[in-house]
Structure 1
Amino acid sequence: MNKQRAIEITESPDLVHVTYNGQRVYIQHVNEDNNTARVYPLDDPQNEFDVDLDQLKET
């Protein structure tokens, strides 16, 4: 996923379907300096982690 699209998703009031390794995640924050995003699985909001933006897919 490109950086601009990830930022748009975080600013959107709608829940956009995004996956990481086949698992649906919510993008909490985009770190523009190192092209990563802070995400958590929709079914486990306490499990936050950072991923490279190129590992995220919009479905």
Structure 2
Amino acid sequence: MNANRAKEIYDSSTNYVVQLDGEHSVWIESVDVANGMATVQVGTNPADTQTVSVERLKEEHH
């Protein structure tokens, strides 16, 4: 996904299903659009956060 879409999802009141590397569901906690990076919470553990390239994020469409 691109940084602008990640920011749209972060700013939205709608819950979107986003996966990291197609394996782990994540919550986007912040987006650095200029650098194409996002900080995400992996799964349901608030202590498990990672800063990753937005290119590793994929929006699930149902």
- Give the structure-2-normalised TM-score: 0.86
Q: Single out whichever of 39-48 and 11-20 deviates more from structure 2.
A: 39-48
C-alpha distance in 1, partners of 2:33/2:14?
22
C-alpha distance in 2, partners of 1:49/1:38?
6
Give ranges in structure 2 of 5+ residues lacking alignment: none
Distance change (3 Å), C-alpha of 1:57 and 1:16: same
Matches within 5 A, 1:1-59: 1-21=1-21, 22-59=23-60
**How many pairs align?**
59
Q: Runs of 4+ in structure 1 displaced over 2 angstroms?
A: none
- Give the structure-1-normalised TM-score: 0.90
Cα contact 2:42–2:50 (8 A) shared by 1: no
Give ranges in structure 1 of 5+ residues lacking alignment: none
TM-aligned CA deviation for residue 43 of structure 1 = 1.9
